[in-house]
Structure 1
Amino acid sequence: MLIFDSLVHEIDIVRFLTDSPIKSVEIKHFKRNSNAPEGLNEPILALFETESGVLANVEMNVNVRFGYQVKTEAVFENGIADIGRVGGLELSFESAITKTEHVTYTTRFAPAYDSQIQRWVNAVALGKIDGPSTWDGYLAAAAVEAGLEALRTGKKVDVKYTSIPKLYSLAS
């Protein structure tokens, strides 16, 4: 569940940010979160190596019980992109800082979902293709398969891809 329900999004964004498919996946375990349901060993640390040589690490802990939070810090040669910080109410009171957090992904990502659907509708109206394709989904699914094997075996696992079908070159 942790890999194909949650980590798949980070797999997709790593490939998007680096413009390079993921070459291998490795999963490491931390001390088990006592809030996690039986059979779910989390938190995890996922290490992704891309074909271009970028190494990305993702910490995943979905049972933290304070809300729904996604943060990304991408460190590049000439700067850092800090993505997903809470922009809502922040209270500083009695030596503490508190921020409101989303409870679920539906409130956190509602504007992004709306924007993605609107871009698709606009592209269809113009007879164009915009946004991710099923090939993007395939690349993420192949990396998820490697992630599941890495989780099961505790080893670094190479991602196995098929060649891109000619169909996708027609869309460019």
Structure 2
Amino acid sequence: MPDDLRVGVIGVGMMGADHAERLVTRIAGARLVAVSDPDTGRAAELAVRFDGVRSIGNPLDLVGDDEVDAVLIASPGFVHEQQVLACIDHGKYALCEKPLTMDAASSLRVVEAEEAAGRPFIQVGFMRRFDPEYAQMKSILDGGSLGRTLVVHNIHRNKTVPDTFTSEMIVRDSLVHEVDVCRWLFGEEIVEITVLAPTPSALATEGVLDPQIAVFRMAGGGIATTEVFVTNQVGYEVRCEAVAEKGNATIGLGQSVFVRTDGHYGGEIPDDFRFRFGRAYDLEVQSWVDASRRSEVVGPTTWDGYAASAVCEAGLESLASGTPVKVTLADRAAARPVHSSPAVN
């Protein structure tokens, strides 16, 4: 594809609007040509900010538009399946923000649709794989100098979230990042998950179990732990430590200038993810654009999205029961139905 990739963005809330600006101002080889959102006024307002961008009311019309080569999907997860399947039907490459879909069964249908199409079209938006710190950690672990990876510890904290953010969303929309990170760092699947909820913070929305602690058991015997705390009041903090046989590697200790003055020391903690992972999003979208122009898919696949959905689905069962739940995936070579079941202690 010698010309710029003509991209349409579906969903122009905070994430979609951020991607639209990214495509216009920081991504090479791409041209934003259309946006779509159920809030047509918001979509129209965004479209007029940039030259040559149309607002299209129906997102499926955007997918089918002849002047749209590829689609960036930043809509709510409950509409992802329909929109992603439309991209596959039209033979258009798509970058779909996580989650791929809201449950394992629908994610598996997307995997099967790609298989039926005979080629991949979808990259899933697990952008931490593109973050320079995470990428360096992955390179160190894969290099073998530290020996076998044994344990991974994750911290995932938000300053605040909207009052509509539920206990289940902490698993499906927040923890899902660590699900993908751990599958990627270990290079294997998660076979069991336990999600525990200590006494909730008094500052969390009434009825919401926040924070939560998740424990993953990996196929090779490794263990991963994750603390997710979405109303910690401090700022947006994401850290990861990998413990191996001959050493350990830690990321997310802070990227701002460390200052000592007047008897105090420290740096700044950002309020949200756009500062911490802005570079990762830039690298992710640029990689997707470059690959789409080559008629390829790189980065997290529909299988990665499906596996994450299956783990989170089992995690919701564990959150409700307080017990470990096994994760059973479809046969990757012959897509069979997926299910999860209580683990045997």
TM-score by length of 2: 0.46
Match of 1:170 in 2: none
> Distance in 2 between the 1:80 and 1:150 partners?
29
2:261 pairs with 1:102: no
The correspondence of residues 1-172 of structure 1 with structure 2, limited to 5 A, is: 1-165=169-333
TM-score by length of 1: 0.90
One-letter amino acid of the counterpart of residue 86, structure 1: G
- Larger of the two Rg values belongs to structure: 2
Between stretches 96-105 and 9-18, larger displacement belongs to 96-105
Aligned-residue identity in percent: 35
> Distance in 1 between the 2:295 and 2:246 partners?
38
> Distance in 2 between the 1:105 and 1:165 partners?
36
1:95–1:43 CA distance, 2 compared to 1 (3 A): farther
> Distance in 1 between the 2:263 and 2:311 partners?
44
Secondary structure at the aligned position of 2:233 is classed as coil
One-letter amino acid of the counterpart of residue 54, structure 1: G
Give the superposition deviation at 1:13: 0.2
One-letter amino acid of the counterpart of residue 278, structure 2: A
1:74–1:122 CA distance, 2 compared to 1 (3 A): same
> Distance in 2 between the 1:166 and 1:153 partners?
31
One-letter amino acid of the counterpart of residue 144, structure 1: C
Aligned residues: 167
Give the superposition deviation at 1:125: 2.2
Give the superposition deviation at 1:165: 4.5
Secondary structure at the aligned position of 1:70 is classed as strand
Q: Hey, which bits of structure 1, 4+ residues long, moved more than 6 A?
A: none
> Distance in 1 between the 2:285 and 2:218 partners?
29
Secondary structure at the aligned position of 1:6 is classed as helix
After superposition, what is the alpha-carbon deviation per residue over 1:104-138, rounded to whole angstroms, capped at 9, x for unaligned? 11222121111011111111222332111111000
> Distance in 2 between the 1:22 and 1:121 partners?
30
Give the superposition deviation at 1:94: 5.0
1:27–1:88 CA distance, 2 compared to 1 (3 A): same
RMSD: 1.6
One-letter amino acid of the counterpart of residue 322, structure 2: G
> Distance in 1 between the 2:284 and 2:325 partners?
32
1:23–1:125 CA distance, 2 compared to 1 (3 A): same
